[in-house]
Amino acid sequence: MQLQRLSGLMRKEFLQILRDPSALGIAFAMPLFLLLLFGYGVSLDAEHVPIAVVVEHPSPLADTLIGGLDQSRYFRPVRFSDIIAARTALKEREVNGIFWLRSDFVRKALDGEGADVSVIVNGVDANTARLVESYLQQVWQIWLLQQQREQASVLTLPIGGELRIWFNPALRSRDYLVPGLIAVIMTLIGALLTALVVAREWERGTMEALMASPVTMAEIIIGKLLPYFVLGMGGMALSVAMAIGLFAVPLHGNLLVLTLASALFLLVALGMGLLISSVAKNQFVAGQIAIVVTFLPAFILSGFVFDIRSMPTIIQFITHLIGARFFVSILQSIFLAGNVWSVILPNAAALGVMAVVFLGLTLRRTRKRLD
Amino acid sequence: MWRRLYALVIKELLALLRDKASRFVLIGPPLVQLLVFGYAATYDLNNIPFVVYNEDPGYASRELLARFDGTPIFRRIATLQSEELISAFIDRKDALMAIHIDRQFTRNLLSGRTGSVQVIIDGRNSNTAAIALGYVNSILFAFDQEWAATHSMPNPPANLVLRAWYNPNLLSRWFVVPGIIGLLTLVVTMLVTALSIARERETGTYDQLLVTPLRPLEVLLGKVIPGFLIGAVEASFISLMAVLWFRVPFTGSVLALVLGLFLFLFSAIGVGLMISALSATQQQGLLGAFLFLVPAIILSGFATPIANMPQAIQYVTLADPLRYLMVILRGTFLQGDGIAELSSQFWPLAAIGLISMLTASLFARRKMY
């Protein structure tokens, strides 16, 4: 390997990058645009969920219960005069649930019989429905405790559960989604930067010209890798800066560890792009493969939104083929928990193995040979 | 005109399907991804590992823990002897949750005082944590009610009766699998259309097409029809799989679904061709495809509800064709909707399709640089 030849190749690659600015766009405009859109747009925090409230027979007792709903930031109660109108609103997706106090509510509640309060939620979005149920239960328990205190009676809720959330006490979904988003966006950027570059040389016939020169294949690959690595790290730095500065995600870990892990992951993402490029040998197919194998797998199988621990065992096994999976783990830990070495080291090792495999395969596939 | 168009469609289909790798990419991955994603994309909790540190020698704590052990949602992986160990299990992500029961738990309960339980949950994935929290709350609540009933405490004044419509067991698979139909259909249409004009531009065959008697509109139609054919075949196949393989109930009108998919293909192909016509190289086409595909999927309400987004972003989603298809898919599968209930979703799709097709045909006439 000769440094002079390598620097010549890299100079050529940089010139090509500057000539078609889409590579610069990929490295800098894309993380900016996507992170802005998603950082604000992607949220699993259901707040101000519209709930239809039907009180058939108004009473002070019913008011205390509905008051709990009014005060909760999770709900936006909408009054309906009867259950039929409320059901129509539920069907037409205007409200997500119905809270129904029947006319015998007060009578049954006061004579010790126990009144039934019906809650109907729209279950189509199962996750939101479950959150809504859980928030309703909280409102309900607060109300029960309040009744218990006011009537100075014996306990109706004997257990005092103290529930504590570590690492993200307010359960802001943005704090775990934004680090995950960085991993997904970097997967795209890495693959997009390199997916077409080797294929382009094959398609345009310039690969043959390169073969006729004294450069070795390893030099060609490194000459492709390094310039895009520099671009990719720039994009990465921009993403991290936005996560911390704009979205106020706390960074509990070390910036140096984060940089090293990112560099490792970028090698995996770029290596995957190069491999796609050398397998396809024409830009059209390389582009198609890049679309299919990068975004959706990184989105769904990385643990960025869907928790891997909830997947069936076979699928959990498959997720080990997705580089983003390891990076999401590292990022979520570094950002929210700190330098947890028992999480970082095994995941970093897996990334290292993937980088070696991708780059090694690329080198094997790119021989000085015309088929 | 029809003969010319026919020949052109055949040529386009050959260009897509002749290459072995390209043929494989169009057919293989969408099917594999349907199977993998259909199982992977779930918000339901299963086998969530937890650890227990129980200081209480009494029977009440054992009864409470039996309720956690008895549900398939949680799985006890260790019983600890000291409080310090809890953080090790949670930090390493070996356990999502730790339950710590106070030494006086049973005694307090029996003497009519509050028995205290501490539950610690790993919040790194806030959604999992929120849902686990909900389960924990309902287990504690159920225990409360039974304890109150069996120890002659007064009844609570009222009971909460929860019911879910359209998806009574709140299976997230019923919500996610119809969404995957939309995702994969969009990806396949992008594969077929987004690079097609850019490729002809880059290799120079586009100029050759322009000097033939084919009119620009015919050239464009020649690109639209293969997209429709491939998209429609895959979308129907995936929809059938959703019902037959994943057993998602289909309760609405088939006609509404077909109309929805048709209009969606129209708009997605329009956007794909618009991207292709606007880009001079395939690299730009690929960038354009991603810049549309990724936001279209993330902002569609597939994984995170649109209602949770800030108002400004909610306006942006109005331009996203996938957003409307998601409502149509979930409406026809789960809510039993027909054409009348979904009419508000159809016309935006048609409008997006028309605008993008017009833009595409405008730019497709442009000569090479």
What average pLDDT does the segment B16-39 reach? 84
- Gap between the Cα atoms of B269 and B26, Å rounded: 15
| Domain identity same for A122 and A259 | no
Task: Identify the pLDDT of residue B369.
Answer: 44
* Same domain as A54, residue A35: no
Report CA A104 to chain centroid distance, whole Å.
47
Report DSSP state, residue A310: G
Residue A155 is predicted with a pLDDT of 56
**Do A25 and A90 have their domain in common?**
no
**Chain A interface, mutation test: which of B47, B251, B294, B344, most A Cβ atoms within 10 Å?**
B294
Question: In this complex, do B167 and A126 lie within 8 Å of one another by their Cβ atoms?
Answer: yes
Please report the pLDDT score of residue B368 as a whole number. Answer: 46
Q: In which band, very low, low, confident or very high, does the pLDDT at A264 lie, cut at 50, 70 and 90?
A: very high
Same domain, A187 and A65: no
Same domain, A9 and A141: no
DSSP lists the bridge partners of residue A55 as A101
Q: Which chain B residue has the Cα nearest residue A161?
A: B117
H helices present in B212-281, as ranges? 216-244, 254-278
The complex's ipTM?
Answer: 0.82
Distance CA A362, CA A274 (A): 6
Do A227 and A354 sit in the same domain of this protein? yes
pLDDT of A272: 92
Q: Which residues contact B209 (CB under 8 A, 6 or more apart)?
A: B200, B219
pLDDT the model gives residue A163 = 73
Residues 302-331 of chain A with CB under 8 A from chain B are: 303, 305-307, 309-312, 314-315, 318-319, 329
Q: Is residue A167 part of a domain?
A: no
State the best of B126, B203, B276, B323 to mutate against chain A, taking most chain A CBs within 10 Å. B126
Task: State whether A275 and A223 are in the same domain.
Answer: yes
Query: pLDDT above 70 covers what percent of chain B?
Result: 98
**A278 versus B62: which is more confidently predicted?**
B62
SS3 label, residue B76: strand
Please name the helix (run of DSSP H) or strand (run of DSSP E) that holds residue B348, with its range, or none: helix B339-364
Average of per-residue pLDDT values in chain A: 85
| pLDDT score of B28 | 84
- A77: CATH: 3.40.1710.10
Segment A137-143 mean pLDDT: 86
Residue A343 resides in a domain = yes
Residue B73, pLDDT score: 87
Residue A221, in any domain of the structure = yes
Same domain, A18 and A65: no
CA–CA separation, B140 vs B241, rounded Å? Answer: 40
Structure tokens at B76: 């006890």
A323 and A340 share one domain = yes
Interface A-B, measured as beta-carbon pairs within 8 A, has a size of: 385
Does residue A165 form part of some domain?
A: no
Domain identity same for A254 and A181: yes
Q: What total of structural domains would you count in chain A?
A: 2
Q: Which residues of B touch A284 (CB under 8 A)?
A: 19, 22, 195, 199, 282
Phi-psi region of B47 (alpha: psi -120 to 50; beta: other; left: phi over 0): left
The pLDDT-based confidence of B195 (bands split at 50, 70, 90) is confident
**Do A265 and A191 sit in the same domain of this protein?**
yes
Does residue A214 sit within a domain?
A: yes
Q: Are A220 and A278 in contact (CB under 8 A)?
A: no
For residue B294, the one-letter residue type is V
Residue A269 belongs to domain spanning: 3-43+172-365
Helix (H) or strand (E) holding A166: strand A159-166
Rg of chain A taking only CA atoms, in angstroms: 28
Domains defined for chain B, CATH in brackets: 2-41+171-364 (no CATH), 48-150 (3.40.1710.10)
A293, part of any domain: yes
Same domain, A19 and A117: no
